[in-house]
Amino acid sequence: MENKLKYYLQYSLLLLIVILCIKNLNLFPFIYKILLALIPFLYSFVIALLVQPVIEKIKIKSHGLRCCIVYFSLVLILSLIGIVLVPIIVNESINIQNLFSGFTNDLDLSNYIQLDDSFDLAYDSTINVFNSLSNGVIIFVAALYLSLDFESISSLLIRNSNFFKQFFIFYDDIKSIVFNYLKSISIDLLLLFTIMFITLSLFKVKYAIGLAILMAVLNLIPYIGAFFGQIIIFLISFITTNQIDYVLIFTIIAIQQIESNWIQPYLFGKILNIKPFYTILSLCLFSALFGFFGIILAPILAVVIQAFYQKLQGSKT
């Protein structure tokens, strides 16, 4: 016990000295810039870890060919989303915003929005989009190279660091869980979107595509997500028709109950029963790091957090 106390005190003192040196030498801005430069690599590393189980599932001998197939498929999916879905989502969002703005005509928005700054806003938005695309290409290419050399890189890290040795042991344990969970959540999202889109179209609810996408994404948030999605649909239906459609309300609630009580348990099978706390925690972390796509990837992080906690509990017992 005494030796452990000395060990922690020594390293605590060393850490304190390092922090004081960094502060007195005014190195914090420099270190911050380095960390910002390393963030794309972190994204690439996360992507490489997520797609590795998919690469291993492909029954092709050549590892390079498997990597190319997976990443080409990923590019194709993202391109379809960007070309087809993004314009629809933007258009539907604008329409919904205009719809709700009709109820706020008494607000003087001129105090909040300066039209003279519209050009600067458009310029900044264009620059941000260009920077995001550039960073996305860099992250994607780096992730591809990491996947191509995944075995050699992981072996190098394992040989030189006990931390990475334990990390990749844990990663091997949860790889199949992550793959199955990713597959199940993708099917669940696609199925819920399709059912909601068909239902809303049959009831002639406006902005059916946007609302179906919103409902599918919000469904990732346990309990409250589906509730808020239903409220938004009911509000838009009431605003556009000036009447309450009780049949629509009953149908949407019934679909949600069937999806949560029957479809999800069937799809997820024996995969870990994720607790809501881990899902909400992962949503906060991944949405802050990756934005919209972080929301989609958050359930995977929830699986990892819960699996890590269970492994930690198992090691203690």
Question: Whole-model pTM above 0.85?
Answer: no
The two structure tokens encoding residue 172: 């091997």
Q: CB-based contacts of 69: which residues, under 8 Å, 6+ apart?
A: 58, 60
**Tens digit of each residue's pLDDT, the chain (317 residues):** 556 566 656 666 776 776 667 666 676 677 777 777 777 788 888 888 888 888 888 888 888 889 999 899 888 887 777 777 767 777 777 776 676 665 555 444 444 444 444 445 444 544 555 566 667 778 888 888 888 888 888 888 888 778 788 888 888 877 777 777 778 888 888 899 999 999 999 988 888 888 888 888 888 776 677 888 888 888 888 888 788 888 888 999 898 888 887 887 777 665 556 666 777 777 777 777 666 666 667 777 777 777 777 777 665 55
The C-alpha torsion from 38 through 44 and 50 to 51, rounded to 10°, is -160
Phi, psi of 105 (to 5 degrees): -65, -20
**Is 264 in contact with 14 (CB distance < 8 Å)?**
no
Question: Does residue 226 contact residue 207 with C-beta atoms inside 8 Å?
Answer: no
Tokens representing 263 are 């479809």
- Evaluate whether 51 touches 70 at the Cβ level (below 8 Å): yes
- Report residue 17 as tokens: 């000295």
Reading the block at residue 264, the tokens are 């999800």
Dihedral of alpha carbons 251, 253, 259, 261, sign: negative
> How many helices (H) and strands (E) in the chain?
13, 0
